[in-house]
Amino acid sequence: MTEVMLDTTPEVGPAPTPARRRPAPALPWLVPAAVLVALLLTTGTPPWAVLGYAAYFLVAVLLPGTLVHRAVRGSSGNLAEDLGLGGATGLLLTIAGWALAAATGLQALLPAWPLLIIAVFLAVPALRRHWRIADPRPLPLRWSWALAGAVALAVLSLWPTWRATPLPPADASWYPDLDYHLALVREMMRSMPFQVPEVAGDTLRYHYLSDADMATASMITRIDPATVLLRLWLPPIIALTALVTAALGRQVTGKWWAGALGGVLAVAGLPLVLGSPITALGGNAISYISPSESYQLPLVGLLLVIAVDALRGRAIGPAWVLIFPLALACAGAKSSGLPPVVAGLAAAGVAMAIWRRDRLRTALALFALVLVAMVIGFQLFAGGGAGTLAVSPLAIMFSFAPYRQTLGAYDLNNGALPQGIAHASAGGLAFVAALVAWWLLMQVSRLAGLALLGAGRARRDPAAWLLAGVTVAGVGGMWLFWHPSASQAYFWLGVLPFATVLTVWLLADRAPSRRTVVAGLLAGAVWAVLAPKLGGAPEHTVASWSLALLRPLLLTAAVTAVVVAVAFWRGRGTWRALPAALLAAVLGAGVGGFADRVATDLPKALHPATLAKPAVGRDEMAAAMWLDRHAGADDIIATNVHCLLPQAPGTCDARAFWVSALTGRRALVESWGYTDQALAAAGTNGKKYFLQPAPYPARFALNERVFAQGDPADVATVRDTYHVRWLFADRRYGPVSPELARAGVVRHTAGPVTIYELVDPPR
């Protein structure tokens, strides 16, 4: 059998422009930079912090990463892709430097780590050539404008959230996960072994490398960790995700415009909305409240770029050295990020066993390296959250409002087959099947690329099988597993950019002309903005939800039918281009839907709601920050803050992580909602994991007696047995005994907070 080889030589732009026009490629990137600076300054970010972080990212991440990437993989011929892939490499180098510092206790030397790499490339003659692009192959300016516009739009989408999440000290109601990650950032500034900040002494098992990356930035720049987390860290990750995905798209398709489209959709795309009252689960891969989800994207993208080269038979040389540590970093970034890649490599291996056995060893080597990294990563990073993952088909349905408000109204989402499905009538099962079909249809922009495996030149390309395996595994992980907080959805969220690249590849493979693509993209984007929302919020019935989801589909189908009829009327040439135009419209609708959402949310940012009862007050935050400035680096605190406010009688939502987050100190017992013990107890007595009782009941009871009674013997026990140095007492969270003033020394008061220091007794 004669094999048809696929020409995937990347399409490049025109010849280099005259000298006077060379600055032009940088011009588009001034737009997202200007948008970012404006939004940061209007949301309270200190100007010196903006400049400092920009300098840090350029010198400590982009520059050393780009130099190393060029040394191991060569240059792509254009600076933007080099910086994108180099930036992802820089993230890996940053984690390597942090790990060395955390293992040795030499965090003070962290600023020297990137400088050492730069110095090597200056001192070694053979490495100096990597400071420039020897064979420039510039991309069209349209490529830069498209990606820069998408990054600017994605950054603009953060503004409402930034306005609702003020920097401390402030009256605020932060999303609990932000407090949790801030506490982890502070923990990553210590030396190994790491502990759970909210329950001192417990070993930390979590995919914390995103927090380690932020900790490194804070330690090098001296910028407050809260400012890094809440403002400065995510925008560069967005830009890297767009650039790495664009490089992957151009690599697999050989077309610059396809790469640009993939990069745009990676950061500024949604599934189809079409005027529906809800968006299909799995909207955008970039998540402000889940730094780990966003952080994994450029790392996984770089891993896929290297894997594509290897699977296609290109010699990757020194890049083999990157594969295992890069895969391990992916495992430590997000526990759900690497399994789809393993599945994709397995699919590529099967394809090569059928069509290209001469490359099977390469596929097996890639698969083995990544699989071993996943296994080791699970041992190093995965905690109770990953350990509670269980096989439970359709458990994700509980996250669908149409199901949760109808058949699933009494489900516990406890790992068993959803009760609303197990006991559903024939009509109920039909409703469930329709919801699944609706989700698949809404996600068609991420799933259509699977058709590449059915026909065409790409069906024998191992890269297509790799991306298809990643896509299918992402879908399967979401629909086959159960997690107490529905975190199985991250299997799908983490592969969205790469699944979309596969669909863009299908479009590039079938589109008769670029004009067809542009027309389809514009039509889809316009419809996404103009599609009317038919009806208000549905009633909590199967019939009401069915109609609410069906009406937008019928209207869109009618509009599509008119377009098809016009295409047939125009003649054979027009309707032959119709499938590609419709696929482009689906992709364009994703960008249009994202832009429409941003435009809808911006007025909320202009007039943010005033918090009547903030979860945490300005005085409380200021008191915690005072303790951060005055406590020893390894001091342990005790606090009576455990539950989110307000709380119902007899319940405790144990996700109040703000004391350990803002003090930067480990707590005897603060909040335990995300501990291994709480996650393992999910569903006990019909309660969610964060409503479970505190671990270590005796320790918790002692902690509570200290604040409520102030008994000197109890205070002495927490001081001498548990090495507690400070008491952080907040009257909003429970009674505070006046006896504490005799058992400890009052060091600071602010609003409802009193801070006591427990001094050692005289000898």
Q: Of 478, 511, 544, which closes a domain?
A: 511
Three-state secondary-structure class, residue 201: coil
pLDDT band at 536 (very low <50, low <70, confident <90, very high): confident
For residues 353 and 472, membership in a common domain is answered with yes
Q: Rounded CA gap, 398 and 593, in Å?
A: 25
Tell the burial category of 16 from Cβ atoms under 10 Å away from its Cβ (0-12, 13-18, 19+).
exposed
Q: Rounded CA gap, 506 and 452, in Å?
A: 6
CA-CA-CA-CA torsion sign (102, 104, 109, 111): negative
Of the chain, the percentage scoring pLDDT greater than 90 comes to 82
The secondary structure of residue 610, as a DSSP letter, is: P
pLDDT of 15 over the 70 cut: no
pLDDT band at 415 (very low <50, low <70, confident <90, very high): low
pLDDT band at 17 (very low <50, low <70, confident <90, very high): very low
pLDDT of 20 over the 70 cut: no
Three-state secondary-structure class, residue 230: helix
Torsion of CA 686, 688, 690, 692, to 10 degrees: 20
Q: What was the pLDDT predicted at 763?
A: 63
Q: Measured in whole angstroms, how far is the alpha carbon of residue 82 from the centre of its chain?
A: 22
Q: DSSP assignment of 27-50, as one string?
A: GGGHHHHHHHHHHHHHTT--HHHH
pLDDT in tens, 170-221: 999 999 999 999 999 999 999 999 999 999 999 999 999 999 999 999 999 9
For residues 229 and 332, membership in a common domain is answered with yes
For residues 194 and 329, membership in a common domain is answered with yes
Q: Rounded CA gap, 739 and 627, in Å?
A: 21
Quick check: is 519 in a domain? no
For residues 600 and 747, membership in a common domain is answered with no
Which two tokens mark 338?
Answer: 């690497």
The secondary structure of residue 165, as a DSSP letter, is: S
Quick check: is 9 in a domain? no
Quick check: is 41 in a domain? no
- Alpha carbon separation from 506 to 138, 568, 574, 584 (Å, rounded): 25, 23, 19, 10
Q: Of 484, 511, 538, which closes a domain?
A: 511
Q: Of 468, 483, 511, which closes a domain?
A: 511
Looking at residue 99, its amino acid is A
Per the prediction, the chain carries an average pLDDT of 92
Q: What was the pLDDT predicted at 671?
A: 96
User: Which pTM was predicted?
Assistant: 0.95
Which two tokens mark 346?
Answer: 């397995």
365-388 average pLDDT score: 86
Query: What are residue 638's DSSP bridge partners?
Result: 727
- Alpha carbon separation from 354 to 100, 349, 460, 461 (Å, rounded): 43, 9, 9, 11
For residues 540 and 475, membership in a common domain is answered with no
The secondary structure of residue 200, as a DSSP letter, is: T
Quick check: is 415 in a domain? no
Which distant-in-sequence residues (6+ apart) come within 8 Å of 499 by Cβ?
A: 446, 447, 449, 467, 470, 471, 474
pLDDT in tens, 490-531: 999 999 999 999 999 999 999 989 999 999 999 999 999 999
pLDDT of 703 over the 90 cut: yes
Q: What was the pLDDT predicted at 1?
A: 32
pLDDT of 4 over the 70 cut: no
Q: Rounded CA gap, 418 and 542, in Å?
A: 16
- Alpha carbon separation from 10 to 402, 450, 459, 747 (Å, rounded): 44, 22, 19, 65
Quick check: is 612 in a domain? no
638-661 average pLDDT score: 93
Angle at 459 between CA 247 and CA 439, to 5 degrees: 75
For residues 562 and 486, membership in a common domain is answered with no
Which two tokens mark 286?
Answer: 């970039």
pLDDT band at 3 (very low <50, low <70, confident <90, very high): very low
Quick check: is 37 in a domain? no
For residues 154 and 218, membership in a common domain is answered with yes
Higher pLDDT, 150 or 6: 150
Residue with tokens 């070993």, as numbered in its chain? 203
Q: Rounded CA gap, 389 and 424, in Å?
A: 25
For residues 97 and 188, membership in a common domain is answered with yes
96-109 average pLDDT score: 97
In this structure, of 54-58, 202-206, 531-535, 561-565, the range with the lowest mean pLDDT score is 531-535
Q: Which of 76, 103, 100 lies closest to 88, judged by CA?
A: 76
For residues 477 and 548, membership in a common domain is answered with no
Q: Which of 92, 103, 47, 42 lies closest to 66, judged by CA?
A: 92
For residues 206 and 313, membership in a common domain is answered with yes
Which distant-in-sequence residues (6+ apart) come within 8 Å of 283 by Cβ?
A: 270, 271
Which two tokens mark 416?
Answer: 């068993």
Q: Rounded CA gap, 190 and 615, in Å?
A: 28
CB 272 within 8 A of CB 444: yes
- Length of the chain counted residue by residue: 763
Residue 77 falls in which region: left (phi positive, over 0), alpha (psi -120 to 50) or beta? left
Q: Rounded CA gap, 394 and 408, in Å?
A: 12
Which distant-in-sequence residues (6+ apart) come within 8 Å of 440 by Cβ?
A: 447
- Alpha carbon separation from 684 to 412, 479, 578, 679, 681 (Å, rounded): 10, 24, 55, 10, 6
Q: Rounded CA gap, 182 and 324, in Å?
A: 28
Which two tokens mark 337?
Answer: 């990020």
pLDDT band at 455 (very low <50, low <70, confident <90, very high): confident
Quick check: is 39 in a domain? no
For residues 213 and 78, membership in a common domain is answered with yes
Beta strands in 660-744 (DSSP E): 666-667, 724-730
Question: Which residue range(s) make up the domain with 182?
Answer: 46-269+288-387+443-511
Query: What are residue 392's DSSP bridge partners?
Result: none
pLDDT of 744 over the 90 cut: yes
For residues 55 and 156, membership in a common domain is answered with yes
Q: Rounded CA gap, 278 and 597, in Å?
A: 12
What is the total count of domains within the chain? 3
Of the chain, the percentage scoring pLDDT greater than 70 comes to 94
Q: What was the pLDDT predicted at 108?
A: 95
pLDDT of 2 over the 60 cut: no
Quick check: is 168 in a domain? yes
